[in-house]
Amino acid sequence: MATLKLKNLSKRYGKTVWGAKDINLEVNDKEFIVLLGPSGCGKTTTMRMIAGLEEVTQGIIYIDEKDVTFLPPRKRDISMVFQSYAVWPHLTVSDNIAFPLRLKNLKSAEIEKRVKEVSSLTKIEEYLERFPRQLSGGQRQRVALARALVVQPKVFLMDEPLSNLDAKLRVKMRTEMKAIHKKTQATTVFVTHDQAEAMSMADRIVIMKDGSIVQEGSTDDVYFDCEDMFVAGFIGTPPTNFLSMELGEKNGKLLLVNSAFSFEPIGENYEILKNYSGKQVIMGVRPESMQVFKEKKPESVFSREVLVTEPQGSHQIVAIELDDQIVKIVAPPFPKVNPGEIVHIGFEHDRIMFFNPETEKRIRKA
């Protein structure tokens, strides 16, 4: 397989619009990287530049330390799976998979051997003599996957390959694709806007916004150690709750004060905030890091009427109104909480994040 390195990679449309700007990224051999972000963030533009389908405005692309920035796609030793499958309707599954090998003038025996191997890997052996119109969406995506794998590329690119599938099949396919990666050990760059897809599949997630990388790391890194409010709000379902807080003092103790409640920061939170007395901060707390009690307990911070509940089977989502916004809390499925009921809310203090309201960057221990 191979390594991939992007150095100050940028793409400008016209004179002022940047599709991607100063992308610096190193993908290790056999690593599965996911480019994640909302529509228009530059993830597909970045992938298309890697593939040679988009002209580079500035910067360099290295594959195995070789500069491929201006090489045509066929000379980069890459394969790409598209969102739209892009299988040829007039060819059988077998011929679709074999097509790129025939372009390389491989011998028939080698072609047959490789087709058999990848069709077994992608579980489409029984469909080799069928045409794409006789296959389901998931089966057609497997054909596209097999065709990309059969050439044994140095770098494997996938542009939202599961987005056209229904939700249940998408979950199944991402598990199978992760298993395929484990077997092939292909260096892979995968583009998606689906955070669950990214978190379940990636060795490392690269989060993009407005054409730039804002954070990269493991699933735990981007979920529990967010660099800014964008990442904290984008990763997680339901998203992070953000509350405006002011740092005050009472009887010599530091207090976090909101219009509806106040509490004393403890442990590492105190160390993070001790120099912010008299200042505003944004508190970010994930829905599962809040606690719902039906009876008042020492760890509860404030009480509120339940606005609505959303039963999910394995858990329930409890919504309350606070600071003219809806705050969602993930609670265990029992005891059941009902709309109109008064509940008592607490926090897992070591899971609270604090952000600078001006820069929206994470406040960290000095």
Region 327-336: mean pLDDT is 96
Residues of the chain with CATH 3.40.50.300: 4-234
CA distances from 150 to 85, 109, 147, 159, 163 (A): 16, 14, 5, 18, 23
State the pLDDT at residue 15. Answer: 87
Count of CB atoms situated within 10 Å of the CB of 218: 14
Q: Is the pLDDT of residue 260 over 80?
A: yes
Q: Is the pLDDT of residue 175 over 70?
A: yes
C-alpha dihedral sign at 300, 302, 305, 310: negative
d(CA 76, CA 261): 59
Region 257-274: mean pLDDT is 93
d(CA 234, CA 220): 14
CA 276 to chain centre: 33
**Confidence at 230, pLDDT banded by 50, 70, 90:** very high
Tell how strand 4-13 and strand 58-63 pair up.
antiparallel
d(CA 327, CA 344): 14
Please say whether the beta carbons of 227 and 214 come within 8 A: yes
Range list of β-strands (E), 100-161: 155-159
Helix (H) or strand (E) run with residue 184 in it: helix 167-184
Lowest mean pLDDT among 191-195, 207-211, 249-253, 353-357: 249-253
Extract the tokens encoding 13. Answer: 């449309």
Architecture of the 4-234 domain: 3-Layer(aba) Sandwich (3.40)
Residue 186 phi, psi (nearest 5)? -75, 135
d(CA 351, CA 329): 14
CA distances from 195 to 6, 132, 154, 180, 188 (A): 23, 30, 26, 20, 17
Q: Is the pLDDT of residue 146 over 70?
A: yes
The dihedral formed by the CA atoms of 90, 95, 100 and 105, expressed in degrees to the nearest 10: -120
State the pLDDT at residue 224. Answer: 93
Extract the tokens encoding 346. Answer: 């607490």
**Confidence at 22, pLDDT banded by 50, 70, 90:** very high
State the pLDDT at residue 281. Answer: 97
**Confidence at 75, pLDDT banded by 50, 70, 90:** very high
Q: Is the pLDDT of residue 102 over 90?
A: yes
Residues of the chain with CATH 2.40.50.140: 241-355
Count of CB atoms situated within 10 Å of the CB of 120: 11
**Confidence at 165, pLDDT banded by 50, 70, 90:** confident
**Confidence at 83, pLDDT banded by 50, 70, 90:** confident
What crossing angle do the helices spanning 137-150 and 167-184 adopt, rounded to 10°?
Answer: 20
Average pLDDT, the chain: 94
State the pLDDT at residue 1. Answer: 63
For domain 241-355, give the CATH superfamily.
Nucleic acid-binding proteins (2.40.50.140)
Region 31-55: mean pLDDT is 96
